[in-house]
Amino acid sequence: MSGDDRYDDHISAVLQECPGVDRDEIKAAFQKYEEEFFIPPQDAIRSIIRRFKSETDTKPAAKAGQSNRTTKKVNRLSELKSDDRDIEIEVEIVSHNVREQMIRGESKSIAFGLLEDDPWQEGGGERTRWEYKDWGNNSNIAPGSVVRIEGASVNEYQGRMSLNINQSSRIAVLREGTRPVVAPGEPVDISDLPSDGYVCIVGRLMSSRPDQIHRRDGSGSIDVIRGRLADESGAIGFLSWEPFEYEVGTLLKIDGAQVKTFRDTPELNFGRTTKIEPFHDASFADTDSLKEGMVSTISKLRDGSKDVEIVVNITSWEKRTFTKEGQERHLWSGQIADPTGQCRVSAWTELPIETSSLPLTVRITDARVRAWQGIPDITIDREDQITILEETPWEGELDLENLKIEVPLDELVSGPSRVGISTKGTIVSVREDSGTIMRCPECRRVLREGQCFEHGAVEGNEDVRLRLVLDDKAVTCALLISKDAALALLETDHPTMVDQIQANGSMAYVQTIRDKLLGCEVDVTGRIINDGQGAMILCDGATLSTTDTGLKATELRAQWGLQ
């Protein structure tokens, strides 16, 4: 410890408050705070004074505070009076138009349109429709969206009421618009397409084939064209209800196509109002390079994808037999892997695959993808969809045991379900049901008070599980750690855990887990399920991150030019 007199001023300050205390004792206290707890003297001083002052300090009078806002909340527009201001209401936006207006010599964009109350149709009655003006240039008002408007005011002009959304008003989007307006004629990249709505794109025709859609009532069929379009950002399937006679390879500008999303896969629909014309752009990527870009990887597979082309290793293969309608049928299924991950494959026809020659590298074309529990399953219907390759397009062997793709948490949480991932984050919560649990011997469901949701009162099997929450990069994700990984992370074993829980109770045990993990950074591996109810990682391996604090601090200084 450098400079013995470094605390002199602080010690004097303590002595002023607590006369008669031994200097050395105060100094020792400062040293302890600093060395054992990283608390500098200016921050430790109050705690030290409090300790030396045996008489407790006065209590500050508790202040009861109430916000003095007088927001008027209403459900229906009819409840509003012409002089109401600072109102709050939930509405559906019917239309939204932007107009440039000169206000005191300055051009400003003012939006106006129609809105309707009772957006959730709870009232059962007729909706009321009003005009509105948005002075706040709110970017989140879109036709079809349901929003909560806070701080709007009512305007009455010649007996007609309308709503003014002021600059200070807040718009909270409760339901995204299902009809987003993309400026007509402004092409969007395929990867940026919304999941619903009318769009304009420029893309190269990669494939097209006639198809028929059979009316469900058996009244006939409709001729349609299916195919794919691609640009440098990606590819998308389309369905044309109108005649579509362009050659593969043609660059097309398509205005007024409708995006529809089936499962997780968007598709373009061309109808009567869609304008399709050849487009000229010499710098647009050619068919060959776009084709390369269309070859998928396991990490990109989505439920509902069609026309998938992919090169993978088949790592396991088995034949299953089942009976359907008295007939014996066969299904082949296996595991596949590429450098981006692992998933499943199924075939409804026998393929030239010998289990003895595995792993086998194959190219699969024209396949469709279904997902089960979020894990993609590529389905092969015909033998000609598969080509056996001599070698893998990637270098080296895939280490299947350790094939974990490192993905940042924000990407995982906003993406689809995936297997074989690794990520990192901070543990921000240890749920109170972490520790030992009882599982139903039939279905492995966790028992609640000895009861299985499905099988009633059963004699459960004891298991270990941690239920945590992992945060990173402004996203949050549930984290379930299975037995072996949990015991390894806590550096304990099952009997010890049971002993401790029996000795001190489960709450006390949860606290010991928090003492060990809360606020710590961890590296985890496993798979993620993302089903729209929030993301959840099923973790089979977790270790506390060993980032060197000093090193990280030095990096930060360098990165941000501090000192």
Partner 1 sequence: MGVAMMTPSRQIQRQPAWFMLASEFGESTLNEKGSGEFDPTFVITKLGAKVNRVVVSGLVERLEIRETSNGSQMYQGQLRDPSGLHYFSVGEYASESMQEFIVHLLGKVDSGEPVLLCMTAKARWYQTDEGAVYTSLRPEEAAIVSRDRYASWLVRACAATLNRLDQHQKSLNCEPSKEAMLKEGIHKELIDGLIAAQAHYGQIDTEGYRLNVMQALDIAEGKMAAATTAPPKLNLSEPTSDDENEGDGEDLQAVILECIQAMDNGEGVDFESLVRNLGARGFSREQSEAELDSMSDEGILHEPRFGWFKIVA
- DSSP 8-class letter at 61: P
Q: Which is nearer to partner 1, 153 or 436 (CB)?
A: 153
Position 104 contacts partner 1 (CB under 8 A):
yes
Find the shortest distance in angstroms from Cβ 478 to partner 1.
8
Backbone angles phi, psi at 239, to 5 degrees: -135, 120
CB neighbour list of residue 70: distance below 8 Å, 6 or more residues apart: 86
Binding window for partner 1 (CB under 8 A); candidates: 318-326, 367-375, 486-494, 517-525: 517-525
407-436 positions binding partner 1, by CB under 8 A = 414, 426, 428-430, 432
Find the shortest distance in angstroms from Cβ 316 to partner 1.
28
Residue 496 near residue 516, CB atoms below 8 Å: no
Please choose, from the candidates 202, 197, 204, the residue with its C-alpha nearest in 3D space to the C-alpha of residue 261: 197
Q: Which is nearer to partner 1, 432 or 442 (CB)?
A: 432
285-304 positions binding partner 1, by CB under 8 A = 300, 302
Among 19, 69, 157, 326, binds partner 1 (CB under 8 A): 69
525-544 positions binding partner 1, by CB under 8 A = 532-534
Among 28, 98, 172, 388, binds partner 1 (CB under 8 A): 172
Among 78, 82, 97, 140, binds partner 1 (CB under 8 A): 140
Position 448 contacts partner 1 (CB under 8 A):
no
Q: Which is nearer to partner 1, 256 or 293 (CB)?
A: 293
541-560 positions binding partner 1, by CB under 8 A = 547, 549-550, 552-554, 556-557, 559-560
496-515 positions binding partner 1, by CB under 8 A = 507-508, 510-511, 514-515
* Paired sense of beta strands 375-380 and 405-406, if any: unpaired
Instruction: Name 484's bridge partners.
Output: none
Among 4, 5, 19, 62, binds partner 1 (CB under 8 A): 62
Find the shortest distance in angstroms from Cβ 128 to partner 1.
19
Among 77, 142, 193, 310, binds partner 1 (CB under 8 A): 193
Position 192 contacts partner 1 (CB under 8 A):
yes
Distance, in Å, from the CA atom of 92 to the CA atom of 145, rounded to the nearest integer, reads 6
Please choose, from the candidates 347, 315, 342, the residue with its C-alpha nearest in 3D space to the C-alpha of residue 330: 347
* Paired sense of beta strands 146-157 and 435-439, if any: unpaired
Position 58 contacts partner 1 (CB under 8 A):
yes
Instruction: Name 15's bridge partners.
Output: none
**Beta strands per DSSP E along 86-128:** 87-93, 97-103, 106-117
Position 211 contacts partner 1 (CB under 8 A):
no
Distance, in Å, from the CA atom of 429 to the CA atom of 440, rounded to the nearest integer, reads 26
Q: Which is nearer to partner 1, 403 or 510 (CB)?
A: 510
The amino acid occupying position 2 is: S
Among 15, 79, 84, 88, binds partner 1 (CB under 8 A): 88
Position 396 contacts partner 1 (CB under 8 A):
no
Backbone angles phi, psi at 290, to 5 degrees: -70, -35
Q: Which is nearer to partner 1, 175 or 320 (CB)?
A: 175
Find the shortest distance in angstroms from Cβ 493 to partner 1.
22
256-285 positions binding partner 1, by CB under 8 A = 261, 265-266
Residue 91 near residue 144, CB atoms below 8 Å: no
Position 2 contacts partner 1 (CB under 8 A):
yes
Find the shortest distance in angstroms from Cβ 177 to partner 1.
10
Helix (H) or strand (E) holding 512: helix 506-517
- DSSP 8-class letter at 455: T
Position 158 contacts partner 1 (CB under 8 A):
no
Q: Which is nearer to partner 1, 389 or 508 (CB)?
A: 508
Please choose, from the candidates 415, 531, 408, 519, the residue with its C-alpha nearest in 3D space to the C-alpha of residue 469: 519
Position 370 contacts partner 1 (CB under 8 A):
no
Among 137, 273, 357, 543, binds partner 1 (CB under 8 A): 137
Among 26, 93, 141, 190, binds partner 1 (CB under 8 A): 190
Backbone angle region of 532, left / alpha / beta, with phi > 0 → left and psi within -120 to 50 → alpha: left
**Beta strands per DSSP E along 135-220:** 146-157, 160-165, 170-175, 197-214
**Residue 93, class by beta-carbon neighbours within 10 Å (0-12 exposed, 13-18 middle, 19+ buried)?**
buried
Position 121 contacts partner 1 (CB under 8 A):
no
459-498 positions binding partner 1, by CB under 8 A = 469, 471, 474-476
299-328 positions binding partner 1, by CB under 8 A = 300, 302
Residue 128 near residue 114, CB atoms below 8 Å: no
For residue 312, how many C-alpha atoms fall within 13 Å in the half-sphere facing its CB? 30
Among 23, 37, 319, 381, binds partner 1 (CB under 8 A): 37
Please choose, from the candidates 266, 203, 250, the residue with its C-alpha nearest in 3D space to the C-alpha of residue 231: 203
Among 143, 144, 151, 374, binds partner 1 (CB under 8 A): 151
Rounded to 5°, the CA angle 109-114-120 comes to 125
Distance, in Å, from the CA atom of 367 to the CA atom of 364, rounded to the nearest integer, reads 7
